[in-house]
Amino acid sequence: MDRNLERVSMKQSFTLTPPVALSASQRRQMSQQLQSLKSLDTHGRPPWASESGRTVQVSGVNLAGTAPSLALRNGAEEMDTILVVHISYQPQRGADQLPLSQRGFPWIVSTVVVHPDLLSCTKWSCNFSTKDLRGAFGILHTLTSVMGKFYREHDWVNFPNKGSGLVGDTNASVFISSEIIEAVRSLIQCVR
């Protein structure tokens, strides 16, 4: 009998009540954020993201000329999967005269995922608007996914969408480091 009482008091001691000052929408938002944090593994990786994305770094930047680009690559020596993400600016003829927000989809994001053990390689490419690109890399926090282009949660992005997170997954997972965010910002700013 004493054990049952002890369990009840333990449950009650962990019950959290939201502060009175929060509105219903703020409480709902906090609840959603808490649920998404629960989905992270002990290393902060969502279950849909591949571990190979944790070591992705900037491997090349070209901010000169008419076709600036950025290359990202994982530390393939340490991983079972080789991952390359390439972002390039290729506007339509005459689009350089328009404001960046009106240039349509001038960015091409390409990924190559190679699984040497499985003898498989997946290539993917898609046109992005500047808004899409900013959303994918967490520069624009309000945009977290575009169907068929990317899915971002916390500091992780998958191209073109959520994956299984397992070896052999054809989606490209990238941990978005501050180095990558700054490189993408610089890439966008160089075409303004």
Q: What's the rounded Cα separation, in Å, for the pair 184 and 130?
A: 10
Among 165, 163, 142, 160, residue whose Cα is nearest residue 150: 160
Q: What is the pLDDT of residue 5?
A: 41
Q: What is the pLDDT of residue 7?
A: 40
Non-local (6+) Cβ contacts of 134 within 8 A are 140, 143, 184, 188
Q: What is the pLDDT of residue 191?
A: 84
Non-local (6+) Cβ contacts of 184 within 8 A are 70, 87, 133, 134, 137, 139
Q: What is the pLDDT of residue 39?
A: 56
CA angle 132–64–71, rounded 5-degree value: 50
pLDDT average per 10 residues of sequence, the chain (192 residues): 42 44 69 59 76 89 89 75 88 70 83 81 91 94 90 92 78 93 94 79
Q: What is the pLDDT of residue 11?
A: 39
Q: What's the rounded Cα separation, in Å, for the pair 136 and 134?
A: 6
